[in-house]
Amino acid sequence: MPRVTFIEHDETIHEISADNDATLMEAALDNLVPGIDADCGGQCACATCHIFINDEWATKIPAREETEETMLELAEGVTEFSRLACQIRVNDTLDGLTVQLPEAQH
Amino acid sequence: MTDAATAMNADDAIPDPYSIPLDQIRMNQSRLFQNNAHGEYFRRLRKEDPVHYCAESEVGPFWSITKFDDIVKIDSNHKQFSSEPAISIGNPSEDFTTPMFIAMDPPKHDVQRKAANPGVAPARLADLEGLIRERAGKILDGLPIGEEFNWVDRVSIELTTQMLATLFDFPFEDRHLLTQWSDVTTNVDMFVSEEKIQERRASLRECLAYFTRLWHERADQPPKFDFISLMAHNPDTKDMINNPMELLGNLILLIVGGNDTTRNSISAGIVGLNQNPQEYDKLLADPTLIPNMVSEIIRWQTPLAYMRRTAKEDIEFQGKQIKKGDKVVMWYVSGNRDETKIENADELLIDRARARQHMSFGFGIHRCMGNRVGEMQVRILWEEILKRFERIEMVREPIRVNSSFVMGYSEVMVRIMPKDKH
Ligand code: HEM
Ligand code: FES
């Protein structure tokens, strides 16, 4: 099971083991990591699973598709590192991934 | 008129949904909602014809989408399902159109939404929390104990109006004007005669004149986080002042969007907890349930019953042929009761798992911009209620508003039980 570290906005760290093939959103919710609301349950329709993934990892993850791009357009505090956690599936190549959480979901 | 249509005249009793031929069900009739009879109609549609075509109604033909997942699909497909020209079933009148970004497609929608959004973004909300708490406390402290009164007037309307005044940085002593403009916009009685229609327009013109003054003042002042300053200073929207009807449209959106919805969520809490006393017990036993309860109340109430889209091309959807130009109505109020998606969907369960996953705020690019402010107001109010009162007892059946769009209450009569005399 790949290990993923979620860092909250106040720097609280949550290290979890994610199920292979779960999305990062599911992994966070299943492991009670706070800070991801996931109001649409993973259908890329709410943007309340907004996270940041830094450069070093970004290349190992498939790029944003159009719907994700569109939803992020309207999210708060978006940067080039922004992603929607429900659109990223965990696998072994992501073992050791670090994910940053925003101040709040909107 | 068909038999079924005549059977639905205003004074008649509401027929059993199964006594009407499926193709003659017309969900645009406000009295179904006013009498809280819509639920069984939607249950039938979800089961027998989840993508339903109503060929004839007062507002022309329209499709009803009634299942949760189907609604999410359409709501997130703005390329094929347009929000123009309107998001209510009727079309706007041609001689008084008020464009607003909820009824626009990209790219215009996106720039206008982005201009107003910082007014309700997380950073701003953190600043407002203390103020809302103080006001909620004041309103609650002013309520009579042991006497009957209308919760809608004394609490729901008062708190949401104060909040709205703050979001606009609107002169506080004039705040009742906001309620008035909100009410003339949504009240169906304002459309019944030419006289009423003119009265409504006159009131909205006053609204425009008032805000035009504010706009000019704010444009000359340093930028702030109220909606008017945000739009007056944003390069993408600062010229809206030259397009008065579009300014008025967006004002109406920001006033009505945040007003009725939150007001009715506040009233719904009282109705829901009184109709489900075991849930009230759970809340009193464990106040940490409040945030979850807020989401559940908003699902259960579904303050806006639907949003409408218009098909931009011929589309096959769940085996039905939707034609270019057809009206497509996404009934959130039905999706939120979809038994195949939400367990015990008819019940209010304040400790429901994944209560946030409801559709009352819509989805996709038009998803409610003010959802966090709405939730915050309801949450803080309940936190302050529990500090003060044992129970708020609803003394008779609530009176619902006559609308197929706004799911709300005009009267919720209550009596407060003080905390110590229990
Ligand atoms: C419980 C409270 C509320 C409910 C249930 C609610 C519901 C909704 C719904 C269903 C939509 C349309 C979503 C769609 O088409 O997919 C919407 C849009 C919107 N709401 Fe709310 N709303 C609430 C509170 C507020 C508040 C407090 C404000 C702001 C002051 C607000 C401002 C807006 C705006 C500006 C839009 C248009 C967004 C766009 O088109 O991009 N709402 N709301
Ligand atoms: S959970 Fe809604 S967009 Fe990811």
pLDDT recorded at residue B281: 97
pLDDT recorded at residue B4: 39
Q: A104 by DSSP, 3-state: which? A: coil
pLDDT recorded at residue B192: 83
Q: Convert the pLDDT of each residue in B138-189 to its tens digit.
A: 999 999 999 999 999 999 999 999 999 999 999 999 999 999 999 888 887 8
Is the preceding omega at residue B107 within 30 degrees of 0, hence cis?
yes
Which residues of chain B fall short of a pLDDT of 50? Answer: 1-8, 421-422
Domains of chain B: 17-418 (1.10.630.10)
Atom number, ligand 1, closest to the C-alpha of residue B360: 5
The DSSP secondary-structure symbol of B406 reads B
The structure tokens 């304002």 sit at: B190
The DSSP secondary-structure symbol of B309 reads E
Q: How far apart are CA B365 and CA B106, in angstroms?
A: 9
pLDDT recorded at residue B10: 53
For B166, other C-beta atoms within 10 Å of its C-beta total 18
B92 burial via Cβ count (<10 Å: 0-12, 13-18, 19+) = middle
Q: What is the distance between the terminal CA atoms of chain A, rounded to a whole angstrom? A: 31
Best probe of the A interface among B330, B360, B365, by most A CBs < 10 A, is B365
pLDDT recorded at residue B351: 98
Q: Choose the closest CB to A40 out of B72, B114, B122.
A: B72
CA distances for B110 relative to B115, B225, B287, angstroms: 9, 19, 39
**Shortest Cα–Cα distance, A56 to chain B (Å):** 28
Q: What is the distance between the terminal CA atoms of chain B, rounded to a whole angstrom? A: 58
Verify whether the Cβ–Cβ distance A46 to B367 is below 8 Å: yes
pLDDT recorded at residue B422: 46
Whole-model pTM: value is 0.95
pLDDT recorded at residue B11: 58
| Cβ pair A2, A20 in contact under 8 A | yes
**Shortest Cα–Cα distance, B72 to chain A (Å):** 7
pLDDT recorded at residue A102: 95
The residues that bridge with A83 in the sheet, in sequence order, are A51
Rounded (to 5) percent helix, strand, coil in chain B: 55, 10, 35
Give the helix ranges, DSSP H, for B192-312: 194-220, 227-233, 244-275, 277-285, 290-301
Residue A76 pLDDT > 50? yes
Going by C-alpha positions, the residue among B164, B167, B209, B169 that lies closest to residue B183 is B164
Question: Rounded to 5 degrees, what angle do the CA atoms B25, B31, B35 make?
Answer: 110
Is the shortest distance between the CB of A40 and ligand 2 below 6 Å?
A: yes
Atom number, ligand 2, closest to the C-alpha of residue A85: 4
Domains of chain A: 3-100 (3.10.20.30)
Q: How far apart are CA B51 and CA B15, in angstroms?
A: 22
Going by C-alpha positions, the residue among B210, B151, B131, B37 that lies closest to residue B409 is B151
Tokens of B194: 């030419």
The residues that bridge with B413 in the sheet, in sequence order, are B150
- Strand bridging mode A13-17 / A3-7: antiparallel
